[in-house]
């Protein structure tokens, strides 16, 4: 089969490698789509993995073989990733106590889905209902990140919210905040194409923070108070500070973006308002089922977010393009079997 292999910093090469075989508890899947995640771009450009790795963790596909212990899937079923077993009372990924997203977050034990075929533990997969296409299902993982963030944000009915960064996570956060009862969702991004999509997905107003003073605009729109809640989904140099400044007295900032470089922070501007900041990372196992249900009930739109569907052979080019500052892409999805 063909797979996109990480060779070194900034280089993916598509090569022919032997087809994987499922172990007793695994399924073999013919990959339909694998969406390119911002975290893959980080791993690629910071070289945070060893040569030979196959990335890709946002996928969907069709089961073509099952291990002898697998009961939940049969050949022909469509499947996508999930969080695995839901243990009541302890629904949390098994991270070590000093987990660091930089040092540990990018180690991957299994070959991923930038390939024609992949194996996966059957318990880490869920079936795709017929209302959901394979293409949509490849976006369940980033949707679940936004679902997790909005669920732990303590959002309340009527809250005025701001999303900073209209990439895939930001645009899903925007939709989830609306579903959770936000009365206003304002979106900020420096890219006009992304802002257009945010409007299409229901943003009340959008802002380019290089053209207007975002903090002033939000304060003016909220009767001089500031927003109730901000979602920092950009990870750009000024955006954390903007988020902390634009929330109201006692307001809350959720930080999901993983900035790999130093960012601006001037606490004297916001400490006096006793604002809260909360980091969020990944997802709880049970939240995958929430994402699946939201998609199944057509409460989440994915189509306007998909900028491009490419073949495996175009993946190196796509990574380079996605890393180019000012590019117009939002979500790029790899069609792994053309
Ligand atoms: Zn991802």
CA-based R_g, the chain, Å:
20
- CA of 57 from ligand 1 middle (Å) equals 6
Dihedral, CA of residue 159, residue 165, residue 171 and residue 173, to nearest 10: -40
Res 103: pLDDT: 74
Cα four-point dihedral sign 277, 280, 285, 286: positive
CA 274 to ligand 1 center in whole angstroms = 32
Between the CA of 9 and the centroid of ligand 1 the distance, in Å, is: 19
Cα(267) to ligand 1 centroid in Å equals 30
Mean pLDDT of 189-208: 98
Q: Alpha-carbon distance 254 to 180, whole Å?
A: 15
Distance between CA atoms of residues 279 and 252, nearest Å? 11
- Residue pair 159/134 in contact (Cβ under 8 Å)? The answer is no
Tokens of 54: 């196959």
Which range among 36-40, 61-65, 109-113 shows the weakest confidence by mean pLDDT? 109-113
Q: Give the per-residue pLDDT at 152.
A: 96
Band (pLDDT 50/70/90 cuts) for residue 90 is low
* Cα 142 to averaged position of ligand 1 atoms, centre (Å): 5
Res 198 pLDDT > 90? yes
pLDDT tier, 107 (very low <50, low <70, confident <90, very high otherwise): low
2-35 pLDDT tens trace: 999 999 999 999 999 999 999 999 999 999 999 9
Distance in Å, CA 58 to ligand 1 centroid? 6
**Residue 167 above 70 pLDDT?**
yes
Give me ligand 1 centre to Cα 65, in Å: 26
Copy the structure tokens of residue 133: 């296409």
Q: Is the pLDDT of residue 108 over 80?
A: no
Centre of ligand 1 to C-alpha 243, Å, is: 23
Give the Å distance between the CA of 171 and the centre of ligand 1. 14
Q: How confident is the model at residue 86 (pLDDT cuts 50, 70, 90)?
A: confident
How does the average pLDDT of the chain come out, rounded? Answer: 95
Q: Residue 54: what pLDDT?
A: 96
- Under a CB-based contact definition with an 8 Å cutoff, are residues 35 and 332 in contact? yes
Q: For the chain, which residues make up each domain, given as ranges?
A: 2-144+283-335, 153-279
Is it the case that residue 105 has pLDDT exceeding 90?
Answer: no
Of 108, 109, 1, whose CA–CA distance to 65 is shortest?
Answer: 1
Sequence-separated (6 or more) residues with CB below 8 Å from residue 99: 105
Strand partners, 236: none
What CATH topology corresponds to 2-144+283-335?
A: Quinone Oxidoreductase; Chain A, domain 1 (3.90.180)
Q: Cα of 280 to ligand 1 centre, how many Å?
A: 14
Residue with tokens 């959720």: 254
Distance from Cα 220 to the centre of ligand 1, integer Å: 35
Q: How many A from CA of 143 to the centre of ligand 1?
A: 9
- What the block records as the tokens of 4 is 């996109």
Q: How far is the CA of 169 from the centre of ligand 1 (A)?
A: 9
185 contacts 205 by C-beta, under 8 angstroms: no
Residue 68's pLDDT is 98
Same CATH topology for 2-144+283-335 and 153-279: the answer is no
pLDDT of 221 above 90: yes
Domain 153-279 has CATH 3.90.226.10: no
pLDDT in the model for residue 19 = 96
Residue 193 has pLDDT above 70, yes or no: yes
Q: How far is the CA of 172 from the centre of ligand 1 (A)?
A: 13
Instruction: Output the pLDDT for position 101.
Output: 81
Tell me the pTM: 0.95
């Amino acid at each position: 089969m063909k797979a996109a292999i990480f060779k070194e910093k900034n280089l993916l090469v598509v090569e022919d490698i032997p087809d994987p075989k499922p172990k007793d508890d695994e399924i073999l899947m013919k990959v339909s789509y694998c969406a390119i995640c911002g975290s893959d771009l980080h791993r690629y450009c910071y070289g945070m993995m060893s040569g030979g790795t196959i990335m890709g963790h946002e996928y969907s596909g069709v089961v073509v073989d099952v291990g002898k212990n697998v009961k939940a899937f049969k050949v022909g079923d469509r499947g996508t990733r999930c969080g695995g077993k839901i243990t009541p009372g302890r629904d949390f990924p098994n991270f070590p106590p000093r987990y660091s997203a930089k040092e540990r977050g990018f180690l991957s034990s299994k070959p991923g889905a930038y390939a024609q075929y992949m194996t996966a533990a059957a318990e880490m997969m869920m079936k795709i209902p017929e209302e959901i296409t394979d293409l949509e299902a490849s976006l369940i993982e980033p949707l679940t990140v936004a679902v997790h963030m909005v669920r732990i944000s303590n959002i309340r009915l009527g809250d005025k919210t701001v999303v900073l960064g209209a990439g895939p996570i930001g645009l899903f956060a925007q939709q989830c905040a609306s579903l959770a009862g936000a009365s206003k969702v304002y979106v900020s991004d420096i890219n006009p194409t992304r802002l257009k999509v945010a409007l299409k997905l229901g943003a009340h107003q959008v802002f380019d923070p290089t053209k207007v003073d975002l903090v002033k605009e939000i304060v003016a729109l909220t009767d001089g108070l500031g927003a109730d809640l901000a979602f920092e989904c950009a990870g750009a140099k000024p955006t954390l500070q903007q988020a902390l400044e634009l929330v109201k007295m006692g307001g809350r900032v959720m930080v999901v973006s993983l900035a790999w470089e130093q960012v601006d922070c001037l606490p004297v501007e916001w400490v006096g308002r006793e604002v809260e900041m909360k980091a969020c990372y990944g997802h709880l196992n049970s939240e995958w089922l929430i994402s699946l249900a939201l998609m199944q009930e057509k409460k989440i739109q994915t189509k306007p977010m998909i900028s491009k569907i490419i073949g495996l052979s175009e993946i190196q080019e796509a990574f380079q393009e996605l890393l180019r500052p000012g590019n117009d892409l939002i979500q790029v999805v790899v069609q792994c079997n053309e």
